């Protein structure tokens, strides 16, 4: 029986995910590094903004930070409630999940890697996909809390496997983004009307999430709204490539895509959305996708 939950890291995703918890649980602690955000969340949604050490006395503790390095540093000095389950929704590193699940056993705390997909709109509407790795019993205990923001919730295996699925998912997004940028600059170079071409492709076998939403809603209208930062996508493609290398596999498309996304992130202005990756192609070809 879950009496209390906590959410740590009220960023673009966490702020919206934590907003659903008070509808399901009486005691909801929130903590954020910039503490004003936690106080604002408490005012807006009826959560309780508390010190970090207080937040980790909850039965279920969610975190959603940029990287596994941030999560490890945050957890290191903490005394967490015995019997608690830490559910990390960061898009993190599988080896770190394995390490943290071992480390937290000493405090009698289970660690689940539970990254999410569905962007900020999915966080807002509680329609996220959640891919969970770790102990099955801990997963079953935490599931009612995850359901507050998750729609499709899957236990995909042992510790680290949730992070692995997320990294490969985002690699597929990145591959599509690069190939769509190349394909559509080529079409424009040949004088094709891009909006008409997009309608054809979205009714054909080449369609993807990028052609169905990202191209129309972020790129062709030149809005590039910042909801998922390009450096975070570069981080995810790096995790996917590391997984390939650890398995000693050959994956040239993944390796090339990681280089391209990392280069586009290095070249991009600060606070660029992931969709801005196409601007690198635009600067090479002198063709604007609009
Ligand atoms: P944001 O940059 O918007 O938010 C990051 C949050 O982490 C903020 O609350 C920030 O606090 C906090 N934070 C950053 N560094 C530290 C630290 N060292 N110690 C403690 N707190 C820290 O990121 P997102 O919400 O976009 O992403 C979070 C995770 O979710 C990432 O792993 C990302 O890849 C993943 N993700 C993002 C999606 C998206 O569409 N944005 C979709 C799916 C997954 P402060 O406010 O003080 O800066």
pLDDT tens-digit map of 45-94 = 999 999 999 999 999 999 999 999 999 999 999 999 999 999 999 999 99
Ligand 1 closest atom vs CA 115: 44
The conformational region for residue 64 under phi > 0 = left, psi -120 to 50 = alpha, else beta, is beta
- pLDDT of res. 65: 98
CA of 206 to the centre of ligand 1 (A): 32
- pLDDT of res. 58: 98
Ligand 1 closest atom vs CA 13: 25
C-alpha to C-alpha distances, 218 to 114, 159, 190, 290, nearest whole angstrom:
27, 35, 23, 10
- Measured CA to CA, the distance from residue 266 to residue 237 in angstroms comes to 14
* pTM (predicted TM-score): 0.98
- pLDDT of res. 229: 98
CA of 189 to the centre of ligand 1 (A): 38
CA of 7 to the centre of ligand 1 (A): 12
* CATH 1.10.1040.10-classified regions of the chain: 164-285
Ligand 1 closest atom vs CA 70: 18
- pLDDT of res. 214: 98
Residues ≥6 apart with Cβ < 8 Å to 238: 258, 262
* CATH 3.40.50.720-classified regions of the chain: 4-158
Residue 131 confidence class, pLDDT cut points 50, 70, 90: very high
Ligand 1 within 6 A of CB of 232: yes
- In CATH terms, 4-158 corresponds, of 3.30.70.2740, 3.40.50.720, 2.70.170.10, 3.40.718.10, to 3.40.50.720
Percent of the chain with pLDDT over 90: 100
164-285 maps to which CATH number?
Answer: 1.10.1040.10
């Amino acid at each position: 029986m879950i009496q209390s939950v906590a959410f740590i890291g009220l960023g673009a995703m966490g702020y919206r995910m934590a907003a659903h918890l008070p509808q399901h649980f009486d005691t909801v602690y929130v903590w954020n590094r910039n503490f004003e955000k936690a106080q604002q969340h408490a005012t807006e949604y009826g959560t309780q903004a508390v010190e970090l050490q207080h937040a980790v006395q909850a039965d279920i503790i969610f975190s959603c930070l940029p990287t596994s390095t941030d999560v490890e540093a945050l957890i290191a000095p903490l005394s967490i409630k015995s019997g608690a389950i830490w559910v990390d929704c960061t898009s993190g590193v599988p080896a770190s999940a394995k390490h943290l699940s071992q480390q937290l056993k000493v405090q009698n705390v289970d660690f689940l890697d539970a990254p999410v997909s569905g962007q900020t709109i999915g966080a807002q509407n509680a329609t996220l996909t959640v891919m969970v790795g770790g102990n099955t019993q801990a997963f079953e205990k935490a599931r009612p809390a995850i359901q507050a923001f998750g729609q499709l919730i899957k236990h995909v295996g042992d510790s680290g496997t949730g992070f692995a699925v997320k990294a490969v998912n985002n690699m597929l997004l990145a591959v599509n983004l690069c190939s769509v940028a190349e394909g559509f600059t080529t079409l424009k170079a040949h004088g094709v009307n891009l909006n008409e071409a997009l309608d054809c492709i979205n009714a054909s076998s080449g369609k993807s999430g990028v052609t169905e939403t990202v191209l129309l809603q972020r790129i062709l209208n030149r809005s590039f709204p910042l909801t998922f930062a390009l450096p975070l996508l570069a981080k995810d493609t790096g995790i996917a490539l590391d997984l390939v290398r650890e398995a000693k596999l050959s994956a040239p498309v993944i390796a090339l895509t990681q280089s391209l996304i990392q280069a586009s992130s290095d070249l991009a202005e600060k606070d660029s959305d992931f969709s801005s990756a196409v601007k690198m192609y635009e600067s090479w070809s002198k063709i604007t996708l609009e």
